[in-house]
């Protein structure tokens, strides 16, 4: 069974909806001085110096618009590259790859492993494989 046109359209529309919603929400949190709880990377979040620097962004609407666009653009780049990986139109730098197919789920698919469940665990594998040199997602020292 292949992915139906209806599910394909719903998937891609939802991806665009989520890109917008998250960019708007994160930018608003940044510019209104609300604490942002980061789930990625799983070892972090902002330290006090980083959180204090973010507070300096409050009340700047033009900056909020720019940050919203940058966040959406960054997230869209990731989604686009993942879709290319799924389609098999790009090669990963790690491992071998032919692409995969998304298919409509069967009614009895309750025993399948979910990709989203493995994302945070894979972070540690990626970090180990990448090495600690110039690790860009760690917090700056206080």
Phi, psi of 135 (to 5 degrees): -70, 120
Helix axes 61-87, 5-31, angle to 10 degrees: 150
Task: Decide if 139 is inside a domain.
Answer: no
Sequence-ordered list of residues with C-beta below 8 angstroms from that of 43, at least 6 positions apart, any chain: 123, 138
Structure tokens at 61: 């609407």
pLDDT digits (tens, 9 = 90+) for 27-42: 888 888 777 778 888 8
Structure tokens at 27: 């930018």
Domain hosting residue 73, numbered range: 5-130
pTM: 0.76
Task: Decide if 26 is inside a domain.
Answer: yes
Structure tokens at 114: 């979910």
Task: Decide if 136 is inside a domain.
Answer: no
Task: Decide if 137 is inside a domain.
Answer: no
Task: Decide if 84 is inside a domain.
Answer: yes
pLDDT digits (tens, 9 = 90+) for 68-118: 899 999 999 999 999 999 998 988 887 788 888 888 887 776 777 778 888
């Amino acid at each position: 069974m292949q992915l139906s046109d209806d599910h394909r359209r719903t998937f891609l529309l939802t991806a665009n909806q989520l890109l917008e919603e998250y960019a708007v929400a994160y930018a608003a949190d940044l510019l209104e001085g609300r604490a942002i709880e980061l789930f990625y990377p799983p070892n972090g979040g902002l330290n006090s110096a980083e959180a204090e620097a973010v507070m300096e962004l409050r009340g700047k609407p033009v900056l909020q618009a720019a940050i919203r666009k940058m966040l959406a653009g960054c997230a869209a780049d990731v989604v686009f590259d993942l879709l290319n990986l799924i389609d098999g139109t790009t090669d990963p730098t790690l491992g071998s790859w032919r692409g995969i197919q998304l298919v409509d789920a069967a009614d009895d698919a309750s025993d399948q492993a979910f990709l989203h469940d493995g994302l945070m665990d894979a972070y540690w594998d990626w970090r180990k494989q990448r090495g600690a040199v110039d690790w860009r997602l760690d917090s700056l020292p206080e």
